[in-house]
Amino acid sequence: MQQVIAELSSGEYGEPKIQEPLAPYTTWKIGGPADLLLIPRSKEELAAAVKLLNRHGTPWMMLGKGSNTLISDKGVRGVVIKLGDGLDYARFEGDTVTAGGAYSFIKLSVLAGKAGLTGLEFAAGIPGTVGGAVYMNAGAHGSDVSRILQRAEVLLPTGELAVLQKDDMAYAYRHSILQTRPGIVTEAVFKLEHGDRNEIAAALAAYKDRRRRTQPLQQACAGSVFRNPEGHYAAKLIEEAGLKGLRVGGAEVSPLHANFIVNTGQATAQDVLSLIEQIRRTVEQKYGVKLIPEVLVVGER
């Protein structure tokens, strides 16, 4: 590992940060250090880094805005890759939008609305990157990425770039083929429709206001913790089970939205995991429904 760190620290592969605490890079503000956090500034640096890591057999993982991720208290062994400024861009051409994998999904929805393009309004409150949204098939308000994605450019584990059409993504509820056949989304192309700017702006404002009133966005959280089981809403099950406000250490089931767990200040990953397990056990005992976490849990246990 020391040889890999030395090579990646040469500056040829991006900005290296050794033993970098990962908590500041997640919306939960939880997580121990990575052996190395690497921020490639371009697709070329990213591809070169992945090829080097594969050559050495070094484990690595991607981290976007950390909005759907719980990093363990011991941190991550190996290399964590975070896309840099060279992959943080958006271009508009007619009704087509092209965005880099590091671009803010929320910002993209706002810019699309200003351009008079409809179809991205659902993204107004999804706090992640374009790459993460494509990977998770992020969605809200009855729509998701699968409705608008045209194609995605993906860096394969071999370090080669490939283009996946929407039909190649095997999209389902909060699922894509990238969760079983890993790849890094470097760019996505969305097909939108021309619409009325005032109507789009009103929809964006309404979604933003609804999230502000119903979700604890002023606190450190990771978005929805559990997937909605078929025929149910996870938040409703958790609330009806009387679990709003339940705490383990510094982690709390939000009194505002039962499918959010908030960091009240000093929560650890273990606090969150213990709380998740209590919620799952209670809901299954009361209603016979198994809740499946939507957040990604990574790192050394």
For residue 185, the domain's CATH number is 3.30.465.10
Specify the range with the lowest mean pLDDT, choosing from 22-36, 56-70, 265-279. 56-70
194 and 225 both lie in a single domain: no
Whether the CB-CB separation of 15 and 84 falls below 8 Å is answered with yes
Query: How many Å is the Cα radius of gyration of the chain?
Result: 19
196 and 107 both lie in a single domain: yes
Q: Which of 85, 108, 134 is the endpoint of a domain?
A: 85
202 and 259 both lie in a single domain: no
186 and 230 both lie in a single domain: no
The predicted model scores a pTM of 0.88
Q: Tell me what the pLDDT averaged over the chain comes to.
A: 94
105 and 189 both lie in a single domain: yes
Give me the mean pLDDT over the 162-168 stretch: 97
168 and 179 both lie in a single domain: yes
pLDDT score for 210:
87
Amino acid at 12: E
Residue for token digits 């119903």?
Answer: 214
- Give the total number of structural domains in the chain: 3
30 and 117 both lie in a single domain: no
80 and 19 both lie in a single domain: yes
Question: Cα(159)–Cα(46) distance, rounded to whole angstroms?
Answer: 8
Q: Which of 166, 191, 212 is the endpoint of a domain?
A: 212
55 and 97 both lie in a single domain: no
The conformation of residue 220, written as its DSSP 8-state character, comes to E
CATH number of the domain within which 249 lies: 3.90.78.10
pLDDT score for 163:
97
> Helix, strand, or coil here: 126?
coil
CATH number of the domain within which 45 lies: 3.30.43.10
Give me the mean pLDDT over the 72-91 stretch: 95
Helix ranges (DSSP H) in 20-68: 43-56
pLDDT score for 211:
86
Helix axes 197-214, 105-114, angle to 10 degrees: 150
17 and 68 both lie in a single domain: yes
pLDDT band (50, 70, 90) for residue 225: very high
Alpha-carbon distances, residue 276 vs 136, 174, 246, 290 (angstroms): 20, 19, 11, 12
Calculate what percentage of the chain has a pLDDT beyond 70: 100
104 and 198 both lie in a single domain: yes
Whether the CB-CB separation of 197 and 116 falls below 8 Å is answered with yes
274 and 230 both lie in a single domain: yes
Give the pLDDT confidence of 100-143 residue by residue, as tens digits. 999 999 999 999 999 999 999 999 888 889 999 999 999 888 89
Q: Which domain holds residue 258?
A: 216-298
Look at residue 67 and tell me whether its pLDDT is greater than 90.
no
Q: Which residues are catalytic?
A: 174, 224, 294
Alpha-carbon distances, residue 248 vs 106, 224, 264, 299 (angstroms): 31, 18, 10, 21
Residue 140 belongs to what H/E stretch? strand 139-140
End-to-end CA distance of the chain: 19
Question: Cα(63)–Cα(36) distance, rounded to whole angstroms?
Answer: 12
Q: Which of 183, 212, 241 is the endpoint of a domain?
A: 212
Give the pLDDT confidence of 1-47 residue by residue, as tens digits. 888 888 998 889 999 999 999 999 999 999 999 999 999 999 999 99
